[in-house]
Amino acid sequence: MPDIDPESTFRGLPLTAEQDAEVRHYIKKKVQHGQPWDTPELAAMLEDMLEPPGDVEEGLDATASEMKAAAERAAASVDEDMEPIEASEERNAAMESEVMKGPKV
């Protein structure tokens, strides 16, 4: 990822190149339509860019943990003496079964 240069970003904020381009595009469109650009919508956009919601990441961590546990349970159901193809099919079937059971509550 390229270094962020606060001198070249909107209001010197630590934005990525993509975020800075999105902000400048928003402002350009507002100016083209003769509308004020320094709006609460822009403020909310910047806030989201600078500090994404934390609960989204927490949800991803929980989902990743659930998937890892399901994969471990599926792998445990495979017999070591099986042929590789048969073991792979059994592992896939066990994984599908774990997914169908849903998240552990």
Of 57 and 11, the structure prediction assigns the larger pLDDT to: 11
% of the chain at pLDDT higher than 70 = 70
Mean pLDDT throughout 51-68?
Answer: 65
Q: Is the pLDDT of residue 10 over 90?
A: no
Q: Where are the domains of the chain?
A: 14-50, 54-101
Q: Is the pLDDT of residue 8 over 80?
A: no
Residue 65 has pLDDT above 50, yes or no: yes
Contact between 90 and 82 (Cβ < 8 Å): yes
Between the CA of residue 14 and those of 10, 81, 105, what are the distances in Å?
9, 55, 39
pTM score of the predicted model: 0.44
